[in-house]
Structure 1
């Protein structure tokens, strides 16, 4: 959830004026995931082997960590800005609980038998979930004394690809998967009570779209975002599950491109195959900006939760701020908060 200092709305004019203020060329391979810490001070990015940590208030890289044993993906900050989760891309398919402070793997969560393609952390607790090509959704807790999952939803009989996300309260999670019967395919979205998921979903709806590869709730619990493999983003009403608008006109040829919301929940941002970053306004779904700067596919783009700062990645990591904030202001300790806080 957003803090009181984040209540000011972001304007269309500010988003249209976003300019690149920092370009980091630290990765030797394409960036596959980025994430901001909950307090907005740090940003982590990873490619298959390297994990870089940046202090975005200072606009500089802090350190680089390596995992030369396994290729990694889906880096996510925990509620502590010194620890992250990430997954291994090859067998055995583990989830690493990784301390950035001393570069130690604190725990390996085990159980998945195929590629883990999605991670989401509860916004209010140490619970998190993972989705895998093995057809299962697993529920975990960072504080558990065991390395195995605390809960399991087995969708393997449906032979499906699923993604899932917690709502802002942490009390509900959504699961969406593609169900196939003969030549007919339908996406189904289910809502579960986190404490009573074993009793089944309490709400469901068929979603008319191609396979959903990314799902997120907005911070105000008003919208659910479903990004599909055919270059369409659906914005659903989080209570009725009705489609509010469809966002398109960008290039996504079936890859996992992670879209998301701005912190005020009034805009959606996404990268694309061509490297262009697209921004749409809600609830009308009008595209209000296209930002050029990446020469390759921009797979990841996220907005800082506490400051007016956006990050995006291809092989390079790029930080964006509105044009009225000079690059020098990022390096000025006295003006940084007044210029960048939202």
Structure 2
């Protein structure tokens, strides 16, 4: 029987989907957009990841991305860093915001994080990761979770060791991204390995990587012992995906997202950004174009008209106008929105797993 929900510690997650934290993307306005489009059926939400590194003490006012709404619960805050003491102190401070859980990041691959020993860099120093988990666990009363990759590179796949450490230090859940740090986001996630971890685990395991369609999510939930799926870049290409998965889990028939619906979400997203009072219209325009660049890949047979009109807009108002014009153009020319056809979310055709060194 297909899994529809799960529980870790005292937290019930229904439906069994998670919005993966993405820096500069999954702030309150984007989470709100996905939540509205899903009819509030989001499962589990996580903050953008928060750095605990630095020379000065961790203070909340320096981290504006921490705002969340009561309706987003269950909600977690993800932290990264290399110092067990600083990670524990930050977790203790963040607990005052009353999130439902704290998540430790051992998966971020970017050089300024992993290269300094945080994020995926911890996979090269498992004793340090173990110490971080132990100290964070001692410092908070709410549940603690861990997100990791399968290893640093293809010669050091150590996710099973990471699982044992997580269980031993009291982690309540593990999310596994099925790529190595060296892979970055190239190639495809190793879901068979994610499945092996989930089958061996004594704690709930969530799978992450390449979840860009309802069918892929359902296949993973059916084939592997995971408790849920975590969706990152797939949500940028299709922010309706959470609602579509929820529909499928509820036994509802799938429906097509029209080009008109796609073109209408820019005003909604813009309104959410302005509600936060943390962005200027020009800054919001950049975020609108960021979303548009992903969405345009889902149009077929041709998205050049959408790209040209929307991505060259000089103001939010001009973008809204151009999106409206494209909506009419799409309707009269039979252009549809079918993001589920996207296999590789990096824009290149890939049919093998590449361990090419993406980061220098």
Q: Over alpha carbons, which structure has the higher Rg?
A: 2
Higher percent of residues as strand: 1
**TM-score scaled by structure 1?**
0.32
Higher percent of residues as helix: 2
